[in-house]
Homo-oligomer: A and B are copies of this chain.
Amino acid sequence: MQSDVFGNDSEIRNFLITISYNGKNYHGWQIQTNAVTVQEVFQTALENIIGDTAYSVKGCSRTDSGVHANMYCISLKMIHSIPCHRLLSALNRFLPSDISVLDIKEAEQDFHARYSCKSKQYVYKIWNAEVRNPFLDGLAYHYKFPIDVTLLNDCCKAYIGRHDFTSFCTIDNRDTNNMCRTVTDFRVERDGDMVIITVEADGFLYNMVRIMVGTLIRIAQGKFSPDCISGIIEAKDRAKAGPTAPACGLYLNKVNY
A98, B133: Cα distance in complex, Å: 8
Report how many copies the assembly holds: 2
Q: What 1/0 flags go to A134-150 for Cβ under 8 Å of B? A: 11010100000000000
Number of residues on chain A facing chain B (CB within 8 A): 19
> A22 touching B137 by the CB < 8 A rule?
yes
Residue from A68, A131, A135 whose CB has the most chain B CB atoms within 10 Å = A135
Contact of A137 among B98, B134, B137 (CB under 8 A): B98
Among residues of B, the one whose C-beta sits closest to the C-beta of A142 is B97
- Tell me the A227-251 residues at the B interface (CB within 8 Å): none
Q: Of B98, B101, B131, B134, which is within 8 A of A22 by CB?
A: B134
A68: chain B residues at CB < 8 Å are 135
24 pairs of residues in contact across A and B, judged by CB atoms under 8 Å: A20-B133, A20-B134, A20-B135, A21-B134, A22-B134, A22-B135, A22-B137, A68-B135, A88-B131, A92-B131, A92-B132, A97-B132, A97-B134, A97-B137, A98-B134, A98-B137, A99-B134, A100-B131, A100-B132, A100-B133, A100-B134, A101-B131, A102-B131, A135-B139
Interface residues of A, Cβ cutoff 8 Å to B: 20-22, 68, 88, 92, 97-102, 131-135, 137, 139
